[in-house]
A = this chain, B = another copy of it.
């Protein structure tokens, strides 16, 4: 820890902190998944003011002694049952327009979470219902606060991240097939991908996937069983998985 001088300690003792603290800080979570082949976001229906009856991203106030990341992970685990270790969590950014919350001046720090397909959790405090909603079906007009902007930023960030990182695997279970991964890319980017080129590319990118050496059970449509893989150690993809242009 940094050493402080007597002058600094004296100054600090005389400092009136309340005079400079007119803000509240919240975390909001853009929790994304791919369920049934649809790129979806977790939304709650608010049961309290403000924006009662509107749809919103899950979130809440940061406690005075809590780190931002801590607050996000705590809410994630409490309200959605998603374990931190099973998902990818990263900060998306801060949203702080002066009028974004009618109650008071609130700065919201948004977090982006990628989670495997899961059943909808039970509603927490202040929420009437909770549901996974396909991103394309979200009615921006019905979103509370500035959550339409936050969601749009999260979706765009997710689409970009799949290009340069192996995070698509964060949408899958620990053991996954190449087809599982392809369906994630197809759902998030909303484009069809050639299974043969995708397979060659993904298995040829070092550190992306590591073979388990065991086949997956055959799906309902039959066909040759796929090999199982786990996430590899890479944190960035070389070469990248670029989105088809136009």
Enumerate chain A interface residues (CB-CB to B < 8 A).
2, 4, 7-8, 11-12, 15, 17, 20-25, 49-52, 61-62, 64-68, 91, 93-98, 102-105, 107, 109, 238, 245
13 cross-chain CB contacts under 8 A: A8-B50, A17-B103, A17-B104, A22-B24, A23-B23, A23-B25, A25-B25, A64-B105, A67-B97, A68-B96, A91-B94, A94-B107, A238-B245
Give the oligomeric copy count.
2
Given A15-B103, A67-B97, 4 additional A-B pairs, CB 8 A: A68-B97, A91-B94, A93-B93, A96-B109
> A62 to B20, alpha carbons, bound, how many Å?
10
Bound form: Cα–Cα A21–B18 in Å:
9
Pairs of residues from A and B, 7 with the lowest C-beta to C-beta distance, nearest first: A17-B104, A68-B96, A94-B94, A11-B49, A23-B23, A94-B109, A23-B25
Nearest CB of B to A192, in Å: 21
How far, in angstroms, from A235 to B52 measured CA to CA in the complex?
39
**Closest chain B CB from A178 CB (angstroms):** 25
Q: Is the CB of B20 within 8 A of A98?
A: no
Shortest C-beta distance, A24 to chain B (Å), equals: 5
The secondary structure that dominates the A interface is loop
A68-B94, A96-B68, A97-B67 given; A107·B105 CB < 8 A: no
CB closest residue in chain B, given A236 = B160
Contacts of A107 in B (CB 8 A): 23, 25, 68, 94, 107, 109
Q: How far is the CA of A104 from the CA of B25 in the complex (A)?
A: 14
Q: Check B12–A64 contact: CB distance below 8 A.
A: no
Q: Is the CB of B22 within 8 A of A98?
A: no
Query: Which residues of chain B have C-beta atoms less than 8 A from A52's C-beta?
Result: 7-8
Q: Is the CB of A62 within 8 A of B96?
A: yes
Q: How far is the CA of A61 from the CA of B225 in the complex (A)?
A: 59
Tell which of A7, A11, A24 has the most Cβ of chain B within 10 Å.
Answer: A24
Contact of A21 among B21, B95, B109 (CB under 8 A): B21
The answer for the CA separation of A20 and B104 in the assembled complex, in Å, is 9
With A25-B107, A96-B25, A105-B21 already in contact, the answer to whether A49 and B12 are too (CB < 8 A) is yes
